[in-house]
Amino acid sequence: MAEPIHQPYLHEAEEDTIDIKQLVAKVLSNWLLFVISAVVCVVLALLYVYIAQPEWHTSSKILVEDQKNSLPGSSASGMNAEFSSLFNVKSSADNEIQILKARSLMTEVVHQMQLNVRTYRKAGLKKIELYDEAPFTVSLRYKADTLLPRAYTIKVLDAAHYELSNSKDDINLKARFGDSVRLKQYNLVLNGVSPARAGEAYTISIESPDATIDGFAKDFSAGLSDKQATTIDLTISYPNPKKGEAILNKLMQVYLERNLNNKVAIADSTMHFIDGRLAIVQHDLSDVEKQFEQYKEQHSIADISEQSKALVSSASDYYKKLKDQQLQLSVVNDLEKYVNSAGNKKVVPSSLIVPTDMSFGQAINAYNDLIIARDRAGLSYTENNPVIRNYDQQIETARQALLRNVATYKKSLQVGISQLQQQNSTFTGQLKSIPSKERGYLDFARQQNLKQELYLYLLQKREETAISKTSTISSSRIIDYAKSDFLPYKPKRGIIVLIGLILGLILPGIYLFVKELLNIRITSKADIEKMSTVPVIGEISHNIEEKSLVTGVGSRSVISEQFRALRTNLQYILDQRKSNVLLFTSSMSGEGKSFLSLNLGSALGLTGKKVVFMEMDLRKPKLSENMGLDHNHGFTNYVISGKTDYKQMIKPAWFNENCYLISAGPIPPNPAELLMSEKLDQLIEDLKKEFDYVIIDCAPIGLVTDALMLEKYADLTLYVVRQDYTYKSQLNIVNDLEYNRKVKKMYLIMNDIKTQKSGYAAYGTGAYGGYGYGGYAEETKKKSWWKRLMDS
């Protein structure tokens, strides 16, 4: 039978809300799971803290004399600032940080200290790295550039011998301390430095230097202490604090040595350059001085006179004027060519010419005005228009006038140039009259001064460099040597334990959430209330005794009291003044219809009410089996035989004198047709006259339509759902019956409730009125704590 569509009257929005009470109840009901998980996770966290290798922060500080921030003329930057800047980049704290982080610096430290080789001593479940505490040192001679990581176990046999083993390379040999052991990748030598006890075991780990360099570079950091300072903080993390201090001190030592060697190399290079230049300049200066001395002796030369200076100044002025006139003449020639160009109708660039004749300037302006006017007219008229032709004639006339003015101005410029050339010739003759020996004197004086200044400058720098070299110190110095923290920074015991505790509390929650998320079956009354508005009239616990009848005379168990409570609830729903027909159905087989109908009927019989059970599940009769009776000779026989006396098929129940059974009879091939028989109507009417309650146990309504055919006789339909058995989706059947009014009055009964489940409590805790029954306590004692945990 197809599942009905979920009906809109259900409050779907409620499904997204969180029921805090239910959540708390879920946690409290699974408290043991949370406790166990928390304890396990905390123990694992403590185990991790114990096994994890601790690491210490090691720090140091250096000061960099930052020339970038030095004052001009200060002693730190003044001595070699001018000359050595040709050979060296200025030092700065930012640059020094990059140098400290350079791979080459860490590479040298790794090779010098052979950091790719580590020695460990086993202490319980963890390994402790040794530095200078090891009774031997390790030296390697590599056979290849690339090394594969290997670990070797060293067992001390006596003061002179040891055993070396490695399962991966199948190595197990004995050797003497100090002897070379040939291995595949290198030759290994162990040199004893202190006596070791026989039987002690150590582990040597050897990895590729490149991998070691990468590891240390990752754990090393350098940064400015402050933005306004040039001090650099160096930090490194390492499992052995003493070795971490040695590594950081070695790195600073290598850095300072490189810094100092760099300054010495620069000083040597500077001295070599200056010495070479001094030799050349000294030779050139000697030659110039000798030639100058001979020149003055030959020509008896004194200082240059003031008259010569004035003559030279006047000659320069006239020469400048001549150049200006020649420039103007060149421009006028170009202008003349420009104006004479055929078809040229563009304005003349008058700003390049400074004419002395007013008429020449006026002619240029008149010509330009006509050109501009014609261009404007050309926007409105065609080329053949009389206006345009008139402008062309005027432009031609103005062009001829301009050419005449150009010729006149050109002629005046040529005359002026001739006059200036004559005057310059006069001054040139006068200059030539100055003795040539005086000009030679000036040449020699300049050469002598130049060589002297260069020679003195080189001598000064040579002395400064020599002094600098003898007193060279590094531009950086150590302020604080490497020092490790008193306590390791990791593992953080408190945080790890707290994380373990939190994880121990979260994991059960995740497990329960996922379990609930993946659960497609009904587990609690809340599941029903979320998905259906049909009320729940009763809740029946799990039948621990596994007996079909639990509501016999004198029964005091929890489940028997729940049936009595269900019986009481029926008094508020049914009309007690007449006979009532109760119909039991469910979604599928196995949900407990027969069990519930039997025990509810028995509970009703205990009150003196006459009850008759009708086993109407003709396809799979179960009620008669639960009552210990034969299902033959029942309803099927009554309908098929045609007999009208129903009393012949009524069977008395052995457990109560007020209870009777009409069994199903032989299983027919056509159950639905039998249920449509008119004899069934008469039978129900007869039974209602004789009995107070008629309890019908029919087939599941989710599988066949038998229950719907019998519903018309029922005063109350009890729909059974079973915990952890009935699917949540099958509540849509209940919703469809309710929404489409296929059933007049319907209530739900939740069966087989495990009392440890979330949302349910046992008798004695007030869950069912606080009666204080002791049956449940006795039952739960039979279960182990692990079984109770699994049930939850």
Token pair 């261009």 is at which residue? 375
By residue range, what is the domain housing residue 76? 57-261
User: Cα-flanking dihedrals φ and ψ of residue 621, to 5°?
Assistant: -65, 135
Distance CA 67, CA 600 (A): 100
Comparing C-alpha atoms, which of 394, 410, 299, 398 is closest to residue 348? 398
Encode burial over 244-278: b for 16+ CB neighbours within 10 A, e otherwise: bbbbbbbbbebbbebbeeebeebbeebbebbeebb
Report the pLDDT value the prediction gives residue 432, as an integer from 0 to 100.
62
- Using only the alpha carbons of the chain, give its radius of gyration: 58
Give CA separation, 234 vs 12, 67, 243, 589, in Å. Answer: 62, 21, 15, 76
672 token code pair: 């639905």
Contact yes or no for 773/556 (Cβ under 8 A): yes
Report the pLDDT value the prediction gives residue 418, as an integer from 0 to 100.
81
Distance CA 609, CA 107 (A): 99
- For the cut 50, the answer to whether the pLDDT of residue 781 exceeds it is no
Q: Is residue 380 part of a domain?
A: no
741 sits in the region (left: phi over 0; alpha: psi -120 to 50; else beta) called: left
Distance CA 727, CA 558 (A): 26
The 3-class secondary structure across 377-388, one letter per residue, is HHCCCCCCCHHH
Contact yes or no for 237/248 (Cβ under 8 A): no
Distance CA 378, CA 371 (A): 11
Average pLDDT over residues 84-94: 54
Same domain, 736 and 679: yes
Q: Is residue 321 part of a domain?
A: no
**pLDDT digits over 54-76, tens only?**
888 999 999 887 654 443 444 43
Comparing C-alpha atoms, which of 455, 416, 116, 125 is closest to residue 281? 455
For 309-355, give the DSSP string. HHHHHHHHHHHHHHHHHHHHHHHHHHHHHHHHSTT--S---GGG---
The model carries a pTM of: 0.54
Average pLDDT over residues 72-89: 43
Same domain, 91 and 186: yes
Same domain, 38 and 114: no
Distance CA 661, CA 614 (A): 6
- For the cut 60, the answer to whether the pLDDT of residue 165 exceeds it is yes
Q: Is residue 438 part of a domain?
A: no
Comparing C-alpha atoms, which of 310, 321, 324, 316 is closest to residue 434? 310
Same domain, 114 and 47: no
Q: Is residue 458 part of a domain?
A: no
Report the pLDDT value the prediction gives residue 81, as an integer from 0 to 100.
45
User: In terms of residues, how long is the chain?
Assistant: 792
Q: Is residue 468 part of a domain?
A: no
* Helix, strand, coil percent content, the chain, rounded in steps of 5: 50, 15, 30
Contact yes or no for 731/532 (Cβ under 8 A): yes
Q: Is residue 6 part of a domain?
A: no
**Given 239, 261, 283, which residue is the final one in a domain?**
261
Report the pLDDT value the prediction gives residue 268, as an integer from 0 to 100.
77
Same domain, 592 and 549: yes
**Given 233, 261, 289, which residue is the final one in a domain?**
261
* pLDDT averaged over every residue in the chain: 80
Report the pLDDT value the prediction gives residue 408, as an integer from 0 to 100.
79
Q: Is residue 67 part of a domain?
A: yes
- For the cut 80, the answer to whether the pLDDT of residue 533 exceeds it is yes
- Place 354 in a pLDDT band, splitting at 50, 70 and 90: low
Q: Tally Cβ neighbours within 10 Å of residue 302.
A: 9
**pLDDT digits over 274-317, tens only?**
888 888 888 888 888 787 777 766 765 555 455 456 666 767 77
- Place 471 in a pLDDT band, splitting at 50, 70 and 90: low
Q: Can you tell me whether residue 481 is helix, strand or coil?
A: strand
Report the pLDDT value the prediction gives residue 556, as an integer from 0 to 100.
83
| H or E stretch covering 166 | strand 161-166
Which range of 50-54, 310-314, 500-504 scores highest in mean pLDDT? It is: 500-504
Same domain, 61 and 38: no
- For the cut 50, the answer to whether the pLDDT of residue 77 exceeds it is no
Question: What is the CA angle 522-526-530, rounded to 5?
Answer: 90
Same domain, 684 and 719: yes
Please write down the long-range contacts of 447-451, taking CB distance under 8 Å and 24 or more positions apart.
Answer: 447/288, 447/292, 448/285, 448/288, 448/289, 448/292, 451/281, 451/284, 451/285, 451/288
- For the cut 90, the answer to whether the pLDDT of residue 661 exceeds it is yes
**pLDDT digits over 617-645, tens only?**
888 888 888 888 888 888 988 888 877 67
**pLDDT digits over 180-230, tens only?**
888 888 888 998 878 777 888 899 999 988 999 999 889 899 988 887 788
Sorted by sequence, the CB contacts under 8 Å of residue 170 that are 6+ apart come out as none
Comparing C-alpha atoms, which of 528, 488, 465 is closest to residue 721? 528
Report the pLDDT value the prediction gives residue 446, as an integer from 0 to 100.
76
Distance CA 594, CA 464 (A): 115
Same domain, 631 and 739: yes
**Given 219, 239, 261, which residue is the final one in a domain?**
261
Same domain, 535 and 577: yes
Report the pLDDT value the prediction gives residue 684, as an integer from 0 to 100.
92
User: Does the CA dihedral 79-85-90-91 come out positive or negative?
Assistant: negative
**pLDDT digits over 714-755, tens only?**
999 999 999 989 998 889 999 999 888 888 899 999 999 886
Contact yes or no for 530/17 (Cβ under 8 A): no
The CATH number of the domain where 571 resides is what?
Answer: 3.40.50.300
On the CB side of 465, CA atoms within 13 Å amount to 24
Same domain, 502 and 606: no
Distance CA 112, CA 114 (A): 6
Q: Is residue 439 part of a domain?
A: no
Same domain, 498 and 635: no
Same domain, 175 and 194: yes
**pLDDT digits over 692-706, tens only?**
999 999 999 877 888
Distance CA 532, CA 528 (A): 6
Domain count, the chain: 3
